[in-house]
């Protein structure tokens, strides 16, 4: 294992022969806080979760330092003509200042999303050093959505979740419900994608209940795909009630698990 990183569809070892100086670890995100000083009282009023009901975080920022053995780099097919600076140009042209996904070889079940830069390049007689900076969203996200088909070679049997019951659920005029626990929801607040079909053309009526955030909303999911920012999954459990006005229908609830 080379502790490699995949940026978009380029792998630091397979494509560029970069060797990390240390095992790549993404910096933690700093919490967003909001303290209000109360005159005449001790301490401050913590309003950090007043609007959302859950913690918010800054982006993750930092950099990875890689070594490239000069004798290895100059033999790579990408370096044509055979010069190290061509490899550096290839790396910069691919990711410098661009937004894409990143997957650590040591944590292949999740991806990070953000913008990357080539921060510095230091040459040397035996090897050169390249520093790649990052500005990432605070949460990492599951490579697969909860209704996707898993590839077993990358499935994590300790943390992976398979929830086929959320795909193409039968909907009738009799109200049914499904409760999702925190183990399925994940640790990041997320708005699920609803995909609905109904024989009467009116869509699927749902009631979305999240006790943790005090959400109890009724809405219609029209035939097609819809995401509603008011329907947030987070906390201990979420219950979704669903039915159609007449005829029958199908409902799929899809989202990715996120965690810090």
Taken in order 192, 196, 201, 204, the sign of the CA dihedral is: negative
Burial zone of 229 (CB within 10 Å; 0-12 exposed, 13-18 middle, 19+ buried):
exposed
Q: For residue 15, what pLDDT is reported?
A: 87
Q: For residue 17, what pLDDT is reported?
A: 83
| Number of CB atoms found within 10 A of residue 224's CB | 10
Task: Give me the DSSP letters along 136-161.
Answer: E-SSEEESS-TTSPPPTTT--TTT--
Phi-psi region of 253 (alpha: psi -120 to 50; beta: other; left: phi over 0): beta
3-class secondary-structure state, position 19: strand
Chain centroid to CA 24: how far? 18
CA distances from 148 to 151, 225, 257 (A): 9, 16, 12
Q: For residue 14, what pLDDT is reported?
A: 86
Please calculate the CA angle 11-152-106 and round it to the nearest 5 degrees.
40
DSSP 162: -
Q: For residue 82, what pLDDT is reported?
A: 46
What is the spatial distance between Cα 78 and Cα 91, in angstroms, rounded to a whole number? 10
Q: What is the pLDDT along the chain (260 residues), one digit of tens a residue?
A: 578 999 999 999 888 888 899 999 999 999 999 999 988 888 889 898 889 999 999 999 999 999 886 666 555 655 443 466 778 888 999 999 999 999 999 999 999 999 999 998 776 666 778 999 999 999 999 998 888 766 545 555 455 555 568 999 999 999 999 999 999 999 999 999 999 999 999 999 999 999 999 999 999 999 999 999 999 999 999 999 999 999 999 999 999 999 99
Q: For residue 41, what pLDDT is reported?
A: 84
């Amino acid at each position: 294992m080379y502790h490699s990183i995949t940026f978009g569809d380029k792998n630091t070892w397979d494509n560029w022969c970069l060797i990390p100086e240390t095992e790549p670890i993404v910096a933690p995100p700093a919490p967003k806080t909001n303290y209000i000083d109360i005159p005449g009282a001790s301490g401050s009023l913590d309003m950090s979760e007043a609007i959302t009901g859950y913690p918010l975080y800054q982006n993750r920022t930092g950099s990875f330092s890689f070594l490239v053995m000069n004798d290895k780099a100059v033999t790579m097919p990408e370096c044509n003509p055979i010069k190290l600076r061509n490899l550096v140009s290839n790396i910069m042209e691919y990711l410098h200042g661009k937004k894409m996904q990143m997957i650590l070889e040591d944590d292949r079940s999740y991806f990070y999303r953000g913008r990357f830069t080539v921060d510095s390049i230091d040459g040397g007689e035996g090897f050169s050093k390249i520093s790649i900076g990052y500005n990432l969203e605070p949460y990492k996200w599951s490579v697969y959505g909860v209704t996707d088909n898993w590839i077993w070679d990358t499935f994590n049997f300790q943390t992976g979740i398979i929830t086929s019951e959320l795909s193409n659920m039968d909907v009738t005029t009799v109200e049914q419900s499904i409760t999702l626990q925190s183990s399925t929801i994940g640790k990041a607040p997320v708005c699920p994608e609803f995909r609905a079909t109904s024989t009467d053309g009116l869509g699927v009526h749902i009631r979305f209940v999240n006790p943790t955030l005090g959400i109890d909303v009724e809405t219609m999911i029209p035939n097609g795909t819809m995401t509603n920012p008011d329907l947030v999954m987070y906390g201990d459990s979420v219950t979704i009630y669903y039915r159609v006005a007449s005829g029958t229908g199908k409902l799929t609830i899809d989202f990715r698990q996120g965690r810090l």
